[in-house]
Structure 1
Amino acid sequence: MYISRRQFLAALGATPIIANIDVADPPYTYSVKGKLPVSEMATTLIHEHVLVDFIGAEKISPDRWKHDEVIRKVLPYLLEIKKRGIKTLVECTPAFIGRDVVLLKKLSEQSGLNILTNTGYYGASDNKYLPKWAFTETAEQLASRWIAEFENGIEGTGIRPGFIKTGVNSGKLSELHQKLVRAAALTHLKTGLTICSHTGPAVPAREEIEILKQSGVHPSAFVWVHANGSAEELEDVGKSGCWISLDGVNADNIARHVELISFLKNKGRLGQVLISHDAGWYRPGEADGGEFRGYTTISDKLIPALKTQGFAEADTRTLMVANPAKAFAISIHKG
């Protein structure tokens, strides 16, 4: 599923939600191997995981896993999607939950896939995965840390993040989580990195979007991760111009995703929809890395199901190629 640079730029110019964005030429992002024109992302899974460690920010350490063991477990799953035409994997594991950019670079080199990593902190799950300074530092101080990772590379590796990953709880935003969103806004305004926030329901999503707007960031810089609620709620929040990320695709919810995507297409919002599995992942501390869920359900089940409902090849290309390229292109989206 390939889209040429000319096709991508034409689509970029025709998309109303990015009318206020200064677009780089050519549009690009960063993979763990370096600068990547987004036209070369091709077919993309926008929310997956290679390794996640839920032990908590105070106890996590890269000593809890060995690269060779993780690669032995994970690489076959990456090669499996490569055979299905997937070219890029956006790895959404944040710092202090198992982000390991050197591991990701090794997997990228061995699989031939583009892999994107992130900067930012994850406040969901009641702040278990936040470092202690996230509670005391200002939004400006947190943003300076994330900006430094973009400008200088992550943890001395020279590997730059391709997006910002944060997370909030599912209810009204706490002051701490409001601060994380403001820090993400400041980071975006300096770097142009897209903000992907683990959110869930519409209530916190609306609050996040309002904070971004107050900070001078257009909602088209925001990916509403784990967007859920009624189809009408998704469409209504989508009127802001944000990305609607349906990233929990599995074998048991294909019909529901077909229903939601079809509804959003009929409302003229297919150009704001992102899809992925939120699958994986190697689990430190469990035998052989624990149970691993692969990344093939979209290719094997969801796309064929959409085609039976009248989705054309162009619609599939929008979901899997054009939308990810637009969503992750590094550019400052001013409100």
Structure 2
Amino acid sequence: MNHSRRKFLKQAGLLFTTSASPISFEFALAKAEVMTVNGPIKAKAMGMSLIHEHILVDFIGADKISFDRWDRAQVVKKVLPYLLEVRELGVKTLVECTPAYLGRDARLLDELSDRSEIQIITNTGYYGARENQHLPKHAFKDDAEQLAERWIKEFENGIDGTSIKPGFMKIGVDTGTLSDLHRKLITAAAIAHKATGLTIASHTGASLAAFEQMEILKEQGVQHNAFIWVHAQGEDDVQKHVEAARLGTWVSLDYVSEGTVERYLEILQRLKAEKLLHRVLLSHDAGWYKPEETNGGDFRSYTDLFEFMLPAMQEKGFSKAEIKTMLENNPAEAFTITKRLA
């Protein structure tokens, strides 16, 4: 980000610093916590958060992926400057959404968190999108209870032999009506939520699968506010965003870029008119170190929100308080570990 853009954001009150005074959350209990790779912290300590980003993603497939496909030192060298860049912009927490069998590396995230001083949150769960090629073999034969037990154990004992625990669940389903396998994934997530209090973030897209998942959660006795509708921008009908938000679901618009500003403003203005900004999450879905490409390929920075989206929101009349609701209050509430039972 260039100096003139940073100066503009400061003058506009949109560049939040890490020294900003604490905010009070209407939802919060004093003991509300989230889980980072360095352990639990108070939810209000998340500060400004990017709730859907990636460090490294490997699409080689569940049957071929392994940690020896990348060199952690090289990944750290490539990615660390991008984390330091957003720390300067006031970001305190980054939610890393790469699931198991797609490149989740808890040790890598731990090192990057230590070196960047960015709080990083990782996940448990399985990703069924992309026609199930990132699901391990046991996911096809295990029932929902058995899958849930695997995820619960990671929360209780740590990930991949470490003491690092997940702060949420990440699952993925394909567009359209849910397959039986994907119904099993969301059912397993509901079971695991009831045991752990971890929020469920589901790669979804268009609304049909989102509402089907929400119905399964309801049947399982889990409130809709335990569910993040990931990639909700994939739904063209803004009324569906309104309906989901009214039910308590988190509506995640998570591919902020220069090219998405106009569309996102349309969605946000409608949600603002309906007094539903308290159910909105914003992020980039950026990063993406790719092990199969030289030096990880093109790595997309985490700054478009600050360079393009926030100035456009201010021009459309969004207040600093409304922006802080979406970037601070909402993430802290969404990722608070608590059992949200119907």
TM-score, normalised with respect to structure 1 = 0.94
Residue of structure 2 equivalent to 1:121? 126
Question: Could you give the per-residue CA deviations for residues 32-63 of structure 1, whole angstroms, max 9, x where no partner exists?
Answer: 00111111100000000000000000000000
Residue of structure 2 equivalent to 1:248? 255
Does structure 2 conserve the Cα–Cα contact (< 8 Å) formed by 1:3 and 1:322?
A: no
Change (3 A) 1:3 1:116: farther
| 1:43 counterpart letter in structure 2 | M
Aligned ranges for residues 134-173 of structure 1 at < 5 Å? 134-173=139-178
| 2:139 counterpart letter in structure 1 | A
Does structure 2 conserve the Cα–Cα contact (< 8 Å) formed by 1:3 and 1:42?
A: no
Change (3 A) 1:277 1:237: same
Does structure 2 conserve the Cα–Cα contact (< 8 Å) formed by 1:3 and 1:39?
A: no
Match for 2:246 among 239, 252, 259? 239
Check if 1:4 corresponds to 2:40. Answer: no
In the alignment, the residues of structure 1 paired with residue 324 and residue 31 of structure 2 have an alpha-carbon distance, to the nearest angstrom, of: 20
Does structure 2 conserve the Cα–Cα contact (< 8 Å) formed by 1:118 and 1:164?
A: yes
Check if 1:46 corresponds to 2:61. Answer: no
Residue of structure 2 equivalent to 1:281? 288
Check if 1:261 corresponds to 2:268. Answer: yes
| 2:295 counterpart letter in structure 1 | D
In the alignment, the residues of structure 2 paired with residue 181 and residue 213 of structure 1 have an alpha-carbon distance, to the nearest angstrom, of: 11
Unpaired runs of 5+ in structure 1?
Answer: 14-22
In the alignment, the residues of structure 1 paired with residue 90 and residue 266 of structure 2 have an alpha-carbon distance, to the nearest angstrom, of: 25
The CA RMSD over aligned residues, in Å, is 1.0
Question: Could you give the per-residue CA deviations for residues 185-232 of structure 1, whole angstroms, max 9, x where no partner exists?
Answer: 000000000000000011000100000000000000000000122211
Larger displacement relative to structure 2 (255-264 or 313-322): 255-264
Does structure 2 conserve the Cα–Cα contact (< 8 Å) formed by 1:57 and 1:128?
A: yes
Match for 1:295 among 302, 306, 319? 302
| 2:104 counterpart letter in structure 1 | R
Match for 1:226 among 231, 234, 250? 231
Counterpart of 2:324 in 1: which secondary structure?
A: helix
Does structure 2 conserve the Cα–Cα contact (< 8 Å) formed by 1:48 and 1:90?
A: yes
Question: Could you give the per-residue CA deviations for residues 264-286 of structure 1, whole angstroms, max 9, x where no partner exists?
Answer: 11111100000000001100010
Deviation of 1:3 (Å): 6.1
| 2:273 counterpart letter in structure 1 | N
Residue of structure 2 equivalent to 1:312? 319
Deviation of 1:304 (Å): 1.0
Counterpart of 2:247 in 1: which secondary structure?
A: coil
Question: Could you give the per-residue CA deviations for residues 232-288 of structure 1, whole angstroms, max 9, x where no partner exists?
Answer: 121122222100000011111111111111111111110000000000110001011
Residue of structure 1 equivalent to 2:11? none
In the alignment, the residues of structure 1 paired with residue 244 and residue 208 of structure 2 have an alpha-carbon distance, to the nearest angstrom, of: 10
Question: Could you give the per-residue CA deviations for residues 145-169 of structure 1, whole angstroms, max 9, x where no partner exists?
Answer: 0000000111110000000000000
| 2:319 counterpart letter in structure 1 | A
Aligned ranges for residues 196-215 of structure 1 at < 5 Å? 196-215=201-220
Deviation of 1:137 (Å): 0.3
Change (3 A) 1:33 1:300: same
In the alignment, the residues of structure 2 paired with residue 262 and residue 318 of structure 1 have an alpha-carbon distance, to the nearest angstrom, of: 14
Residue of structure 1 equivalent to 2:71? 66
Aligned length: 322
Report % sequence identity.
50
Counterpart of 1:55 in 2: which secondary structure?
A: coil
Check if 1:323 corresponds to 2:338. Answer: no
Question: Could you give the per-residue CA deviations for residues 64-89 of structure 1, whole angstroms, max 9, x where no partner exists?
Answer: 00011001110011011011111100
Residue of structure 2 equivalent to 1:103? 108
In the alignment, the residues of structure 2 paired with residue 3 and residue 30 of structure 1 have an alpha-carbon distance, to the nearest angstrom, of: 22
| 2:62 counterpart letter in structure 1 | A
In the alignment, the residues of structure 2 paired with residue 44 and residue 152 of structure 1 have an alpha-carbon distance, to the nearest angstrom, of: 26
Aligned ranges for residues 81-92 of structure 1 at < 5 Å? 81-92=86-97
| 1:147 counterpart letter in structure 2 | I
Does structure 2 conserve the Cα–Cα contact (< 8 Å) formed by 1:48 and 1:280?
A: yes
| 1:258 counterpart letter in structure 2 | L
Q: Which runs of 4+ in 1 moved over 6 A?
A: none
| 1:277 counterpart letter in structure 2 | H
In the alignment, the residues of structure 1 paired with residue 90 and residue 154 of structure 2 have an alpha-carbon distance, to the nearest angstrom, of: 31
Residue of structure 1 equivalent to 2:279? 272
Unpaired runs of 5+ in structure 2?
Answer: 1-15
| 1:4 counterpart letter in structure 2 | P
In the alignment, the residues of structure 2 paired with residue 126 and residue 3 of structure 1 have an alpha-carbon distance, to the nearest angstrom, of: 46
Counterpart of 1:252 in 2: which secondary structure?
A: helix
